Structure 1
Amino acid sequence: MTTEPEGPELSLRQRKKQETRRRISDAASALFLERGFDNVTVVETAKAADVSTMTVFNYFPRKEDLFLDRIPEAIELFTGAVRDRRDDETPLTALRRVTLELIDRGHPLTVAQERFLPFWRVVGDSPALRARGREALEELETALAATIAETTDGGAHDVRPRLTAALAVAAYRTVATNSLARLVAGAPEHTVLKDHRALVHRTFDALERALPEAT
């Protein structure tokens, strides 16, 4: 997976970097899914991708990011929605909109699809990946808080951007975890996905009631 923009405006160098990043990520994911994250080395990943170990680290400074390679994309999607929101949108409105758009697109970040279960099983089996996932949520929360602060009228000591970001990220994680647990337990995907979307709406409704001044 690549997080760089695609299109004719990309230079040849950018396209090559994008292709290399994708090849490394795909090779790593295939090995991790087959053998488990903790049973695969970066050296083996480099060999499978036909690159040097140094090249792997140039694109992915941490082994965990080889598998959790959508972290930068997630941060950009959610902060971008807030930063570039319409004039009639609040930060929470923009976050609700982008979350629902991801669900409608069947994006991996929505979690609630059976085809992503093998990925989440690898994460669940690896303490290192679970720890990196928690760090990623903290990174998202920090980036969201900064973006909300930059695009609203609060002062330097206004707690509302941090509170809004913290509650939004916690809500997103809770809804995703609930839907994933239901899929693992064998609930039909179409039912889980329908309930997932409805729960996103109810959750943002609750956030807007709880944070009227921050919305």
Structure 2
Amino acid sequence: MAGLRERKKQQTRRHISDVATGLFCQRGFEAVTVAEIAEAADVSVNTVYNYFPTKEGLFFDREDEVVSRLARRVRERAVGESAAEAVLRGIREDILAKEPTAGLTEHYGEFLRVVFNSPTLTAYLMRMQRSMGIALAEVLREEAGAGPGDRIPDLIAGQLVWVQSYVYRIAGEFRGAATLDERVAHMLETLEAAEYLLSDRVLGYARRPPGRAPRPEGPTPP
């Protein structure tokens, strides 16, 4: 459990990010300066940079978690579960839990509008997705014992990253009075269709064999 100091740091980080996101939604990403964010959050500019080395990080404040999520799910998959099954199960669980990172928030459409109205944020999002694919492909290669010249892990990682990105983006396409439950239902239908279209080779890749427990994230102990 995090100590008091760590909890305060997390609260400060969340506060700065929330203030920044509000300003970006009001005026656009490029129009807002870090100095204005610091003033609105009642902190110094140095404090902002201590928590967020880049301005883009103020908007994508959960970047590390998002980039590593699919790789972590494959690494921690259950015995008998394939890599794709673990990823698809995780996506389904996020949707059912109405996770904000799955786009299931009241203002997600506004969030996407800010991203796609900013060339800087759009490029940054594309880099995040590329990093997600690279991390996932590395784990797939390790788990399947694939050689360095085998492109299958990269191709499968690309498909799974695309499925998640497409399904989550749907949450921001609703207009009017659509409820969260209606968004959830449509996202689940789309996920089911995407799973149906994936080949058996993809769906069965890197299935964890019996007797091999899920591997925790992090360095292997000596």
Same fold (TM over 0.5): yes
Quote the residue 1:174 is aligned against: 166
Quote the residue 1:106 is aligned against: 98
Offset of residue 49 of structure 1: 2.1
Q: Which of 52, 66, 69 is matched with 2:58 structurally? A: 66
Distance 1:37 1:201, change over 3 A: same
By percentage of residues, which structure has more helix?
1
- State TM-score, norm by structure 1: 0.84
Unaligned runs of 5+ in 2: 207-222
The one-letter amino acid of 2:178's match is P
SS in 1 for 2:198: helix
CA contact (8 A) 1:85 1:91 kept: yes
Per-residue CA shift, 1:107-155, capped at 9, x if unaligned? 1232255532221222222111111111111111111111222222222
Q: Which of 122, 135, 141 is matched with 2:114 structurally? A: 122
Q: Which of 56, 63, 81 is matched with 2:73 structurally? A: 81
Unaligned runs of 5+ in 1: 1-7
Hey, what's the Cα distance between the residues in 1 that align with 2:156 and 2:37? 39
Hey, what's the Cα distance between the residues in 2 that align with 1:187 and 1:206? 31
Offset of residue 32 of structure 1: 1.4
Matched, 1:206 2:197: yes
Larger RCO, structures 1/2 (Cα 8 Å, 6+ apart): 2
Aligned length: 205
Offset of residue 12 of structure 1: 3.5
Per-residue CA shift, 1:173-199, capped at 9, x if unaligned? 233345533x14x58344443122111
> Over aligned residues, Cα RMSD in angstroms?
2.2
Taking the TM superposition and a 5 Å limit, the aligned residue runs for 1:181-192 are 181=173, 183-184=174-175, 186=176, 188-189=178-179, 190-192=181-183
Hey, what's the Cα distance between the residues in 1 that align with 2:115 and 2:73? 27
The one-letter amino acid of 1:88's match is G
- State TM-score, norm by structure 2: 0.82
Hey, what's the Cα distance between the residues in 2 that align with 1:171 and 1:73? 18
Hey, what's the Cα distance between the residues in 2 that align with 1:124 and 1:187? 23
Offset of residue 71 of structure 1: 2.0
Indicate the percent of aligned positions where both proteins have the same amino acid. Answer: 36
